[in-house]
Amino acid sequence: MCGIVGYVGNRNATPIIIEGIKRLEYRGYDSAGIAIINKEHELKIFKEAGKIIDLERSLPAPNETSGNIGIAHTRWATHGEPTTTNAHPHTNCCNTIALIHNGIIENYKILRKKLEAEDHIFVSETDTEVLTHLIGHFYREENNLLLAVQEALKLVEGAYGIAIICSDFPDQIIAARKGSPLILGIGKNEFFVASDVSAIIIHTKRVIYLQDNEIVTVNKNNFEITTINNKIVTAKVSEIDWDVSSIEKGEYKHFMLKEIFEQPKSVGNAFRGRLIPELSTTRLGGLGLTEEELRQVERLHIIACGTSWHAALIGKNIIEGLARIPVEVEYASEYRYRNPIIPDNTVVFVISQSGETADTLAALREAKSKGARVFGITNVVGSTIARESDGGVYIHAGTEIGVASTKALTSQVTVLSLLAVLLGRMRNLSSTYGTTFIEELIKIPEKIQRILDNNEEIKKIAGTIKDSTNALYLGRGVNYPIALEGALKLKEISYIHAEGYPAAEMKHGPIALIDKNMPVIVIALKDVIYDKIVSNLEEVKARKGRIITIATEGDETIKDISENVIYIPQTINVLQPLLSVIPLQLLAYHVADLRNLDVDQPRNLAKSVTVE
């Protein structure tokens, strides 16, 4: 992890690859580096711990970094501290081969021990350097770089997306993938390699998504894709349907704020074309299931990580309530290792914004190996989960740059609510409710906008808790996962310790933490358990907790209990999370911004977690 960019063509590679990794900064990283083959066919390596700007400052004069081929990397440390020595690229003993790598080589210790016995000298603590030396070992034996890469990768256990240049081949890049995304960008007499389309979208919209165990050898005029076993592959060229404007901040201070404000549009995109008002139901054609197959579904497993897991919990509540089908929600990292039981007529859904989350992808493969039909809910067209699922649904949220996910969650919840109505209407959900659901869902974008219009007031409330060291989030029913999500957002970007709980569970432990310094953020909307959560609020007030309440417009009672109230519009119970989460996103954002923190690139986090 975390970002790969490569270029070969007629232009100077350095500014192109530096610009490319800058477009990947949002993914999170702690060091950066480049490798260039200059006009004299010399391999030059430049790398620095810290930010890309630190790398740029350390570069020598432009004439010393000029060349028509180069690779660049941003590293998110896994093996070894974030130091300049551990930064990529890494080289072999002869300093003729440079390699950058996303992923983890799980058997690197065994390989390193064997290579050290053959007098290979290592300078870093990384697993990546082992792969560089291993390729160098086979290259010395075979005198064929592609063959050396193939032979080395046959010995590797783990995940990788790699790009390699060699001074013996001053116009060639070799790149390969297994479990970590990698694409080839096709230009005119030039080619690009990248781990994410956003790095090269300014140069080309024509790309090839490499598959696992594929290797591409590319120069400025052509390319060839082979498998690890040297079988030639005919690949499909895809056309990217978005442009660079979608990955720029525009008028907003941070990408996260921009993406919060994009939610009226992104939620609308998630349900557009998927409503059937005349039948009081919905459609999700990407599933590829017949009506009979949908009726035969007896149980759902929903698997995800992080924010997507919170969306899954909300989906469980909605699907069980409307379709009366039992739903199990699991962390992907646990599901993949616990030998899950998947009964007949169970359908598995995996949720991932990027479609590349390593644990979720492994869980997908585990479920498929047990014979389950697995469907993906993802945002990225052409992602690995999208390709390996039996079918699925794109959430159409648009590019999400901020590491802390916002609009992906509301789009995921929208899709899950559509699934709930689709399954419910095939069972015992009334047409009256189906019609009400559709009518209310259509109003949600406008209601989100009304909450966003209250942004300045929410910012003022954020100022009252910005110096806190802890916070408690409480919710019940369908809003309990929103309490979890609100706490996660605050932790992720402000570094304030926060926990989410079902409000009734507060008295079974967390109430011991409440005092005059503890902010308690409570979702208390008008629904069937409103009176119960008001009682929970009274318990907090009695202990002098500082209560911030998310309440339904027109609720005056709640003012007497709360220090601050953020009002949101009324909607039906199952759609409340699409509204209640918005002020919590804004609250976390403003707290972090008021603390002068890097909102879009919080420490230690990465946007797409492609390692275990």
Amino acid in the structure at residue 104: I
Contact status, residue 257 vs residue 263, Cβ threshold 8 Å: no
Cis, bond preceding 15 (omega within 30 deg of 0): no
> In the numeric block, which tokens belong to residue 4?
């790969």
CA distance 9 to 189: 6
CA distance 575 to 440: 8
CA distance 190 to 269: 35
Of 44, 51, 220, 607, which one is the catalytic site residue?
607
Question: Which residues touch 115 (CB under 8 Å, ≥6 apart)?
Answer: 122, 130, 133, 134, 137
* CA–CA–CA angle 303, 307, 313 (5° rounding): 55
CA distance 181 to 160: 8
Nearest CA among 505, 503, 532 for reference residue 520: 503
Relative to beta strand 373-378, strand 470-475 is unpaired
Contact status, residue 229 vs residue 150, Cβ threshold 8 Å: yes
Q: Is 366 buried (19+), middle (13-18) or exposed (0-12) by CB count in 10 A?
A: buried
Specify whether 94 is catalytic.
Answer: no
Specify whether 93 is catalytic.
Answer: no
CA dist 301 → 315, 358, 410, 421, 423 (Å): 11, 18, 20, 17, 14
CA distance 64 to 22: 21
CA distance 148 to 300: 45
Of 2, 305, 407, 489, which one is the catalytic site residue?
2
Active site residues: 2, 607
